[in-house]
Chains A and B, each alone.
Chain A
Amino acid sequence: MKILTYGEIMENGVSLFTAIAQLNGKELRVKFSGSIRVENPYKQLESYIQDLDAQLRQNKISSTVLDFTGLSYCNSNGFYVLMDIIDVIYGIVPGGVQVNRLSRDDWHQETLPVLLNLEDREICFRTSLKDCVEI
């Protein structure tokens, strides 16, 4: 498994949120962990999004797993950042996208499908949602 790029939100020296993009053969795995609570998440994630865009264009990838199960909280300011990351991935990487989410969490069940834009037929066709139970 090769790490393509890594994004992080830190506050007072403490890591609050990470987004790690890894390549496993031809499969892209992006894992989101922690919580997004800061007022302007772009400040710390803008370069990550740019780097992710560049890395995805340089590698041959045929499928994607987006793992949100480690994301415990996302404030409404974080919605746009996650959407930008999702847009970059869907826009560059072809093939199916498996989205891992928590089965008993309001944000994962109600809001995440909106941020994924599952009302778009092409996105919906490419996406499969996998409900996971928090251990």
Chain B
Amino acid sequence: MFVEQKSKPVRMEFRCMITPMKAVKYNLSGLLGNFNADLAGRFYPDVLASRLNVMVSELVNNAVENVIDPGAGFSVNIRITESELIVKVSNRADEAQYEKVKRHIGVIRMSDDKKRLMAETIAQRKALRLKGGLGLIRLAAEIKSELNANYNRDKSVMTVVSRLALNGIGG
């Protein structure tokens, strides 16, 4: 009797490091977001690829906004497991920058209504004509990803992590 074997689900891991950051003169966040979404789209449903695009784009933007050493680089690490999609972006940052990002993530995590938090933040920042500042909130409010940040004091490297439960969408 022939028994059809169930194929193993696809796993994907992608790492990229670019040094120095000052060499980046174009829209790198978009390029990396699109590239990874295109790649993931070959193995996974469109909805996952599209969420990966948002995660990579906004986390790379966040890293670009928090550069202390343009001579240093940054790294992107993407992993898609059976149950979750994880994107980590690391870059050199001083402790004050890390604390700022950590506080911001703390506010997002504590919020019971992340969509309202996004709406209020957009309204405040728009009134003051402030640029940016929405990327991390967007990851939580729009695609429901969980955010974390950690800091390696010895190397002055900040890592921001966005984690998304796949809940069956990973195929």
**Residues on A facing B (Cβ under 8 Å):** 11-12, 35, 37-40, 73, 75-77, 79-80, 83, 104-107, 110-111, 114-115, 117, 119
Contacts and interface: CB of A to CB of B under 8 A. Distances in A.
B118 A114 contact: yes
Interface in B117-152: 118-119, 122, 125-126, 131-135, 138, 141-143
Dominant secondary structure at the A interface: mixed
B141 A110 contact: yes
A79 B50 CA distance: 18
Contact of B54 (A79, A106, A115, A119): A106
A85 B80 CA distance: 37
Given A37-B30, A75-B30, A80-B126, A114 B115 contact: yes
Contacts, number: 68
B30 A106 contact: no
A57 to B, nearest CB: 22
Nearest to A78: B134
B30 A79 contact: no
Interface centre among A37, A83, A119 (most CB of B within 10 A): A37
Contacts of B126: 80, 83
Contacts of A115: 122
B159 interface: no
B-side interface size class: 20 to 34
B57 interface: yes
Given A106-B143, A110-B115, A77 B131 contact: yes
A105 to B, nearest CB: 7
Contact of A11 (B26, B61, B132): B26
A73 B27 contact: no
A51 B54 CA distance: 31
Contacts of B118: 111, 114
Contact of A106 (B58, B61, B132, B142): B142
Contacts of A73: 30, 33, 53-54, 57
B29 A76 contact: no
B132 A111 contact: no
B128 to A, nearest CB: 11
A76 B138 contact: yes
List 7 A-B pairs, minimum CB-CB distance, nearest first: A37-B30, A76-B134, A110-B142, A114-B119, A76-B135, A111-B142, A106-B142
